[in-house]
Structure 1
Amino acid sequence: MRSLWQFLHTHNISQYYNVFIQAGATDDDLNQLLHFNDQELDEFLQAINVLPFHCIKLKCALRELRLREQVDHSPPQSPSSFTRPALASLLNNDDDAAFAVERPPSPPLSASPSHTVSCNENAPSHDVISRQIILSHAVIYGKNNSRSLTSYEIAINQAAAALALDDPSLIKQKGQLFQLAKQRLLEDGYQYRRGHSRSKLTDALPQIKDRRKSACLGKLKRREHARRMSEERLRKIRLLDEQVRAVSTDIQRCHAEICRNQTNQVEVAPSAIEIQLRQHQDKRSRLVRELRKLRSQERKHQWYERRKAHDSGSFITCDHPST
């Protein structure tokens, strides 16, 4: 990682170095700047009064450096067949400024020969410059803004950078580069946030297509099982309703008999009818609890089905896969 002074000097904004130091930064804090989010970076640059154009220039430089750091874990692939003239031709000569930014400053005329040799030793080779230009033009997400990227966007940028290093001509075919980057993610088994791919390239990969078929079949089986369970619950609810009505009738009969015996002052065995009454009441309480439980389960099931119908427009949102 370069120092803060080298970074600012490379991008011709070294006049702010002392301001950075006075604001509390050190020469080793370039990595900290890379981890600032948009709001933190804006607040810091505004506090040290960086000019608007220089502010944009600094943000672009940090974004490019951040991308290089992301792909540095991959083995460097020197695009020797794409030298500086070849790249300039490939990019329609639009990148002379980019080459100039990456080129170290020329030594002053009064510099000693030994100092000139030292500068030349530190100068990047054509291959290094070419690699940096390819990485800069291979960016898919975050090229025109400095917002924090999602894990998916970072993965796409890394895949695109690796593909562009293999075939630098892809930097002039961003659409194809993007599609190839998405396909590489799928082939590498990239897991999306919800565990399912959003890419249309999924159908082109047999193993992913098989997983989609299995998931679809599993969903259909679960819905069929839920339908059968609902039918069974409704059957039990009807049966329990009949039993509750029958027991309620028995309870009413017992009450009527007790009242009749009391009116006629008939002496009966101690609480024979009352024992029957308590038994009927206990039975009805048990049946009512079971009935309430089943009705609660069925209400949940019906609510869930209505919600699915509202979200998808149909109870079945997955077609039967062809065999």
Structure 2
Amino acid sequence: MTTIDLGPAPAAPTEPWAGVPRRVGLTLPELTHACETIGAPLPFEVATHLDDGLDARLGQTRSAADAEALDRAVAGFGEGSTSLRRRDLLDAGGTLDSGIAGALGLLATPEVVIDLDVVVDGLRGRAWHRQKGEAAASLATVDGLVFELSWYPSAAWSTELGRTATVPGETARLTSAVPEQLKVPFATADAVFEALRTGRGDLVPVLTEGDVVVSRALEALHTESHGRLRAIVATTADPENPLIGTVSWTLVNDGWRSMRTVSLDGELTLLITSVEPSELAADLAPVLAEVAR
């Protein structure tokens, strides 16, 4: 298994990073207060509902109802500082647990950034992974209300990335018509997906020039889709000119397929490859190497 690592740390990691990964669950109020305590920003924007009069004119919109439900849920957690103290994660003097403080500090000042957005059968999860030297940390959530904060040595990062791509156990594994390996000209694949998206499946044989294998594979990739994974990769070596790369996976009946666009013999080509969650780090490594150059 390939471990993503951009080199030795500028200094030895402190004690909280040693050993196996540590994890703690935090509610949104707890996470927000913890970040405020050490002066670190959240790695995401908290959705807020601003009444601009639209609801009054058109009635309550779905987004407004969702925002109100979120507000009620957050209010139900109570004050973040109170629950952090009750859990012995914040002392009477306002000092945050050292492990949590270190993890949140790394999330705010990383060398390598990976943002993951995963959808499986309509259920969406997001994870923010950050690495610096010999230390890495991540923050993940499904509902935006309860988060898992983890911190660990960089050597364990590849395993932690794989956790984000792990499909729920209750998700059925069926036979798939999508090959484990397939190369298709990108222009052909793009045209076929657009035809299928707009209900013009009759154009697929024409677009694939009668290639039955490619036609069936691309149609199956479209109809079998149970979810997707998107990864945005960046480094902070040059904040003024950040370099960004992406990785895309699609979940079909029997598991994940990596969707990578490469240049082969001067032609832009879509490579479709069967992958396991444990291979996410290996799939990200070439993209990291490219943005880190």
Please indicate, yes or no, whether the TM-score normalized by the shorter chain is above 0.5: no
TM-score with structure 2 setting the length: 0.22
TM-score with structure 1 setting the length: 0.21
Q: Name the one with the larger strand percent.
A: 2
Q: Name the one with the larger helix percent.
A: 1
* Structure having the higher Rg: 1
Q: 1 or 2 for the larger relative contact order (CA 8 Å, sep ≥6)?
A: 2
